Each structure stands twice: as C-alpha cells, then as structure tokens.
Amino acid sequence: MIRFISVVLIIFAYGRSQVTENEENCPGSTVNNYILGPDGYTMQPTVYTGESPKQGKPGKRGAQGEPGLKGNKGTKGESGQADDTAEELQMLKDEVAEMKAKLGIYLTPPSCDYINRNEKTSGTYVISPDLRTVQPFSVYCNFTGETETIIEHDSMNEIQLTSCEPKKCYKRHIRYNVAMEQIVALIQRSSECRQFIKYRCIASLLLEGGYATWLSRDGTHMRYWGGATSQRNDYCACGETGTCVDSTKRCNCDKNSSPETSDEGFLTDKDTLPVTGLQFGDAGDPGEYGWHTLGPLVCTGRSV
C-alpha cells in the first residue's frame, strides 16, 4: 500500500513537471522555469533550448530524487499496523502536502532575489515567499542595480490634498494589489524593505501639533517621517541632521509658511511596513497647500 502511494506520488510529481514544461516553456515565452539547486533551497533557472528532447530531462531527474522519501515512509509503515487506515490516510495527506510544497518551490521563486538576473529582464514575475501560508502572487522585479521585489498600490502618483483644516482631516486609504498576508510574507523573506514617503507643502504643518500621520501595517498612527533614521516622534530627516529650513523645527514643512518646501525619505522598519494610510491637515486656509507622494514597497535581499 505504502509503496503504491509513493509510486502514485512520483507519477504525480513527474506529471506536474511535464505539464509545466509543456505549458510554460514554449519558444518565445517569457515565463520562467526554475529547478531546485543542489542545496535543495535556492532556485536555478532551467535553460530552455526549444528542442523537446532536452525538455524532458530535468523532469526525469526530479522524479528520480523521490525514492529517498519512499524508503523513509516504508520503514514507518512496517512498525505500525497496515490496516490502520486513519493513520495511513493522514500520512498520505502529509506526504501530498509535502509534495505540493516541493512542487511549488520548484515552480516559483520566493522573491525576485531568487531569480537568476543574468538571464532575465525586469518585469512582472510570480513569486511565492511562503508556500505554507500564502498563495503565489505577481510582483515587479527590477534587475537594474540591486535586485528589487516591488509591490505597487493605488496611489502611486503625487496627489494634492483636498482643502481641509483640522488635524488629520484629509484621509487616504492605501490599497495594494496583493493581500496583506502576501506582502508580510515577502517582507519576512527579505533582508530589507523600504517605502518612499514625501509631503510637499506651502504653509501647511506636517508633524508639529500632530497634523499628519502615516498608518502602519496594523493601522497604528505613526509620528515620524521618512528618512528619520532614529524613528523618534515628530522627526523628519532634516530634524535628525539639523538641516531644516527653520533650524528650530524638526521638519521643513513645520515652518508653516511659504515658500514651498518638502519633507521626504524612506521608511525602512520591516515590522510596520507597508504604509496603509496617509492623513494630513492644515490645508484649508487661503494660501495653504499640500501634496503627498508614496512610493511602492521595495524589498531586497534574503532574510536567511
């Protein structure tokens, strides 16, 4: 029985890899194929030559790796009762789950960092940061410079505030094109993530008096601005370095007068990214204006 199950699984695994080859490895296709590298973890792209005899080979090698697994399960089965169908069913379920996880890794890299940039061009790719918890999803991979995994949202361009005066009277919710669990999985799989944030202002307060905030992953109202590396409340980047246009203030916009100025920089705290909302105020009186810019979530490197 156990041996039969293993054989079925091997056929399943082999079938899956063959289907993938046929579906995705068409000549001229931009879809990628990956195989597990020698370390059993890192992805390596398959070299596609366009000749079908060569296509078959990686699939067969993958299937041959499985007998090791079969041997293990066989030993377990002998020590237990062969007619214990519930246990056997559970074992089968576990094995299928394990196999699916392996096949998933076989098909999709955890992030853009696992894609061989030397053979690929920047563009949209499917990644799978954590197969146990989230479905694979599409991201933009930037292979110019350090490899970046990029997730965009619905407010990518600079947006002017609608006129309003009280603290945080202007509210904008930020929506991402993938689910929060998927974003968090990518963040956890990456060594660094960042998001650019900017407020351009004319006579409009930013952090002083609590006029503006950005909302963290869990909706907490955050009180420091991009580029403030100490993450101290009420600090912008210029406040950290003592370079604000009004040296008595911690943000350029907190001078609260014309001419136009701005505060900008990267948020880099992996525990609070991505930004889920932006709120501003002090833009209701004549001559007061504000514009906000929020970049995509950009993740780099590997966390392990």
Ligand X SMILES: *[C@@H]1O[C@H](CO)[C@@H](O)[C@H](O)[C@H]1NC(C)=O
Question: Site residues (CB under 6 A) for ligand X?
Answer: 142, 144-145, 150
- Three-state SS string over 20-57 comes to HHHHHCCCCCCCCCEEECCCCCCEEECCCCCCHHHHHH
Nearer to ligand X, 158 or 181 (CB): 158
**Least distance (Å) between residue 33 CB and ligand X:** 24
Q: How far apart are CA 188 and CA 285, in angstroms?
A: 43
Residue nearer to ligand X on the CB measure, 228 or 298: 298
The smaller minimum CB distance to ligand X, of residues 150 and 202, is found at 150
Residue with the shortest CB distance to ligand X? 145
Least distance from C-beta 280 to ligand X, angstroms?
Answer: 26
Burial 70-80 (b: 16+ CB within 10 A, else e): beebeeebeee
Closer to ligand X by Cβ: residue 142 or 262: 142
Closer CB to ligand X, 148 or 288, in the complex: 148
Give the SS3 label for residue 139: strand
CB of 148 to ligand X, least distance (A): 6
For ligand X, the closer CB: 53 or 145 = 145
- Cα dihedral 197→201→204→209 (10° resolution): 30
CB of 298 to ligand X, least distance (A): 7
Rounded to 10 degrees, the C-alpha dihedral 34/37/43/45 comes to -40
Residues ≥6 apart with Cβ < 8 Å to 69: 6, 95
Q: What is the CA radius of gyration of the chain?
A: 26
CB of 232 to ligand X, least distance (A): 29
The CB-of-284 to ligand X minimum distance in angstroms stands at 35
